[in-house]
Amino acid sequence: MDGKVAIVTGAGSGMGRAIAQTLGGLGFKMALIGRRKGALEETAASLSGEYLVHPADLSEPDQCTAMIEAVVARWGRIDVLVNNAGVNRKKRACADTEREDWDAVVRTNLDGVFFCTRAALPTMRAQREGQIINISSGAGRRPSAISGVAYSAAKHGVHVMTFMLNDEEWKNGIRASVIAPGEVATPIMEQRPQVPPRETWADMLQPQDIAEAVRYLVSLPKRVLVDELSIRPSVRRTG
C-alpha cells in the first residue's frame, strides 16, 4: 500500500482512529478528517507515516469539497475514502425528535457521506480506480428504538447510496462497500438516552474489529466487490 492515499473521516476517536492507525500501518498516506483538530492531532501522533490533518464540518458541502481539494493538492490522488464520521442525539423517538436533532444526525451521517463521495469521484474517475468504504450500522438494515428514527433513516440511506455507487461507477473502476456494525464500544455510546453499563462494553464490538474489516476490504484484488459487510457482537443485548 506504500504511496497510496486514504482519507478517513471521524478520525479523531473510536472507529475512525483505529481505521486510520490500521491503514497507516499498511503504508497508506493518511488524511485525517474531523471537527476537532486536537483529537485529529492525537491520532496523527500515533502514526509513523505521512499524514495530513484537516479539520472540517462534513455537514457542510463546501468544507467537504475543500477537504478533498486539500488532499489532492498534497498527494495528487485518492485511493481509499472511508466515510466514518457519525453522530446521534439523546432524543430518538419520532414524537420526541426535534428538527435540530434530525438535521444534526442526517446532515452528518447521510449528507456528509454524499458530499465527501461526490467531491472525491472526479479524482477517482480520472485515476480509473478508487475504493469507497462507508461505515454504516446494523440500524441501517434493522431500524430500532435504541438507534432512533433519524439515525436509522440516515444509515439506511448510506446503504442505498453504496449500492447506487456500484451500479453507476463500476465502469470507472470504482468500488464501494458498506460495513454495518452492531454495537461498538466507542464514545457514541455516551449519547444514548440510557448509557449501557460499562461492564457490558467489553462484550461489544471494539473499534479495532471494524478496522480489521476495513483492512480486509482494502486488501482484496480489484476484481472482488463486497457490497455489504454485516458484523455483530456474539453477545446479544436488549437495551
Domain presence at residue 54 = yes
Catalytic residue among 151, 161, 207, 210: 151
Tally of domains in the chain: 1
Nearest residue to 104 via CA among 87, 85, 117: 87
| 158 located within any domain | yes
The yes-or-no verdict on residue 2 having pLDDT over 80 is no
For 98, phi then psi, to 5°, come to -80, 160
pLDDT of 113 higher than 70: yes
Position 179 in a domain: yes
Question: In angstroms, rounded to a whole number, what is the distance separating the alpha carbons of residues 70 and 147?
Answer: 34
Q: Which domain holds residue 194?
A: 5-231
The C-alpha atoms of residue 87 and residue 103 are separated, in whole angstroms, by 11
Strand, coil or helix: what is 132? Answer: strand
Interval 5-64: pLDDT, tens = 999 999 999 999 999 999 999 999 999 999 999 999 999 999 999 999 999 999 999 999
| pLDDT at site 189 | 87
Question: The C-alpha cell of 88 is what?
Answer: 446521534
Q: Determine, yes or no, domain membership for 238.
A: no
Cα separations in angstroms, 165 against 159, 213, 220, 222: 10, 20, 18, 16
Active site residue 51: no
CATH of the domain at 212: 3.40.50.720
Report which DSSP code applies to 184.
B
